[in-house]
Amino acid sequence: MEKKIDQIEKKHFSSHYKLTPHRKIILAVIIEHSDQHLSAEDIYGLLREKGIEIGLATIYRTLELFVELNILHKVHFDDGRSRYELTHHERHRHHHLVCLSCGDVAEVEDDLLNKLEEIIERKHGFKVTDHTVKFYGYCKRCRPK
């Protein structure tokens, strides 16, 4: 964990952007819960539980910075708030499975869309730089038998 933070610090921070103690704490919480998609408020709450008080404004600003530095990606699951996930470098493309019953979000690896992106560029003259794919439905647990 500490190692991961160091890696990120080396890679994304410089003399201009510093990994301050607060930012480090926020990053640590995100890494600790990297199986989830936390919102700003989630992070605020998790830190409070640990007895750490960091202003909500700072959390918003930090998340914004992390997105700018490409450490995080902002994602939306239509629950009215933004959520964040660590940028995946290895498995570049992954999609989300959003359960309409319990709200759980799982991830699926896939690279099927490259072909489609080529078609779009050729046919529509549209230069694709990113994409998002979300599947809505019912997860194994919630799925009616």
Partner DNA sequence: TTAGGTATTGAGAATGATAATCATTATCAA
Partner DNA sequence: TTGATAATGATTATCATTCTCAATACCTAA
Interface residues with DNA (CB under 7 A)?
Answer: 15, 17-18, 20-23, 39-41, 53-58, 60-62, 64, 80-82
Instruction: Out of 78, 89, 122, 145, name the contact with a second copy by CB under 8 A.
Output: 78
Q: Return the C-alpha torsion angle 51, 80, 61, 20, nearest 10.
A: 40
Nearer to DNA, 56 or 108 (CB): 56
Residue 48 binds: one of a second copy, DNA, none (C-beta under 5 to 8 A by kind): none
What would you measure as the largest C-alpha separation in the chain, in angstroms? 56
Nearer to DNA, 23 or 99 (CB): 23
Residue 78 binds: one of a second copy, DNA, none (C-beta under 5 to 8 A by kind): a second copy
Q: Is 76 in the site for a second copy (CB under 8 A)?
A: yes
Nearer to DNA, 34 or 82 (CB): 82
Q: Give CA angle at 81 (76, 87), nearest 5°.
A: 45
Between the alpha carbon of residue 80 and those of residues 4, 6, 76, the distances in Å are 30, 33, 8
Number of residues lying near a second copy (CB under 8 A): 32
Q: Which two tokens stand for residue 21?
A: 């103690």
Distance CA 108, CA 134 (A): 10
